[in-house]
Amino acid sequence: MSGWQETPPTAVLILRDGTRLEGRGIGATGTSAGEVCFNTAMTGYQEILTDPSYAGQIVTFTFPHVGNTGTNDEDIETVNMAAASGVRGVIIKADITNPSNYRAAERLDAWLKKRGIVGIAGLDTRALTALIRENGLADAVIAHAPDGKFDEAALRAELDAFPGLEGLDLAKEVSTTQTYHWDETRWRWGEGYGTIEDPQFHIVAIDYGAKRNILRGLTEQGARITIVPATTSAEDILALEPDGVFLSNGPGDPAATGEYAVPTIRTLIDTGKPVFGICLGHQLLGLALGGKTQKMHQGHHGANHPVKDLTTGKVEITSMNHGFSVDRDSLPSGVVETHVSLFDGSNAGLAVEGQPVFSVQYHPEASPGPHDAHYLFTRFLNHVREQKGMAAKPEFTTA
């Protein structure tokens, strides 16, 4: 399988099984090894490429036209700008065009180069997606050389040295290294981002690779947020006197991150404070409650994943990005499944009976993606409101 070429190839992608694909280089020059996954979203490529959850991965976009709205300084999801961008590479079908959007500040190719992201264009991305669906997530090395000269032996050695994501703790690589505060609210047409005024609650967010719009989803509920590094102890978190604790999304193997995260989460649960986890935070909560996690065959990466909320019977379309999942059969008594994927039936949410503790596998902030799951931020803060003797807000509104 190879991309059609008008000119000599300036980029290659070599998979662990020996598959070699040629294309046109975009973004930074150089090489990078990672796990190839495919994302089916039609919009939001800048948010995807700055999502820390993609650390260690090479993203293949199934939508053929990527880059046509350019890039800007607002649609960035990385909170820790001092950390590496996370994503190891990008694969697209069509060449990047000049941007056509009033918010565009820079062409995607230049933006990729500035962030050190190696890319390849001109591949049959849907054929690559079919290969992953059949054989599973694939480790690969991607290379971009403007002169078209590649050291094949060195590339294969770099690929051989890549350990794969199983057993890999990547949260430490993308997490903040110091505690700080967040008060920014969601973007609004004609206004941009705002600032929370007169916050009612204080939430501590453990940063395993948090996205900015998740934090904005919390501030929209009236919460000021203190963000702490992934390795922060439960004692230090409780010393901040939070009304609730948020477990963020993030990359890598939850079992590896759980070596230090699980004891902290267990202590936090025992305090009785509300706890809400998303993505990696969901998986870590599952581990802390006595469950197990497992590597998925192809993972879930896209903005059109149907999920059923078993607590309400409603079906929502969600944004997902994960290659590991919680094994529902491992969940102990007292921990209930609250959400399920309608694509493959995998677990997509859990809660502790009788306690204000719950989590979901997907991304309710929807960056990119639909807004069906925004209610989960209300559900979390309603637990806080209940403990403070305040009236709950409706989870679902027409506004």
Domain containing residue 194: CATH number? 3.40.50.880
pLDDT at 395 over 50: yes
> 250 and 349: one domain?
yes
> 17 and 140: one domain?
yes
Q: Which two tokens stand for residue 318?
A: 């969600």
At 187, the pLDDT band (50, 70, 90 cuts) reads confident
Q: Is 279 in the active site?
A: yes
Looking at the 3D structure of the chain, how many domains does it have?
2
Residue 34 forms beta bridges with which residues?
A: 140
So what's the pLDDT on residue 213? Answer: 94
Q: Which of 161, 185, 211 is a domain's end point? A: 161
Q: Quick check: is 277 in a domain?
A: yes
Rounded CA gap, 10 and 5, in Å? 10
So what's the pLDDT on residue 83? Answer: 46
pLDDT at 310 over 80: yes
Q: Which two tokens stand for residue 282?
A: 């969901």
Instruction: Kindly report the pTM of this predicted structure.
Output: 0.96
Q: Quick check: is 295 in a domain?
A: yes
So what's the pLDDT on residue 244? Answer: 98
> 183 and 141: one domain?
no
Q: Within 13 A of 252's CA, how many CA atoms are on the CB side? A: 24
Taking residues 269-285, report their average pLDDT: 98
The domain spanning residue 121 has which CATH number?
3.50.30.20
pLDDT at 318 over 70: yes
So what's the pLDDT on residue 399? Answer: 44
Q: Quick check: is 394 in a domain?
A: no
Q: Quick check: is 398 in a domain?
A: no
pLDDT at 85 over 90: no
Q: Which two tokens stand for residue 399?
A: 């506004």
> 311 and 359: one domain?
yes
Q: Which domain holds residue 152?
A: 11-161
> 114 and 256: one domain?
no
> 73 and 103: one domain?
yes
> 337 and 305: one domain?
yes
Rounded CA gap, 206 and 53, in Å? 14
Q: Which of 142, 161, 180 is a domain's end point? A: 161
Q: Quick check: is 393 in a domain?
A: no
Q: Is 363 in the active site?
A: yes
So what's the pLDDT on residue 317? Answer: 97
Q: Quick check: is 294 in a domain?
A: yes
Q: Which of 282, 300, 363, 383 is catalytic?
A: 363
Q: Is 235 in the active site?
A: no
Q: Quick check: is 6 in a domain?
A: no
> 140 and 175: one domain?
no
> 30 and 117: one domain?
yes
So what's the pLDDT on residue 392? Answer: 96
Q: Quick check: is 383 in a domain?
A: yes
pLDDT above 70 covers a percentage of the chain that reads 96
Q: Estimate the crossing angle of helix 212-219 against helix 375-387, to 10 degrees.
A: 50
> 91 and 18: one domain?
yes
> 89 and 55: one domain?
yes
Are the beta carbons of 333 and 287 closer than 8 angstroms? Answer: no
Q: Which of 77, 173, 279, 300 is catalytic?
A: 279
What number of other Cβ atoms are within 10 A of residue 292's Cβ? 15
Q: Which of 143, 161, 179 is a domain's end point? A: 161
Average pLDDT along the chain = 95
Q: Which of 47, 77, 173, 365 is catalytic?
A: 365
> 139 and 245: one domain?
no
pLDDT at 2 over 60: no
pLDDT at 5 over 60: no
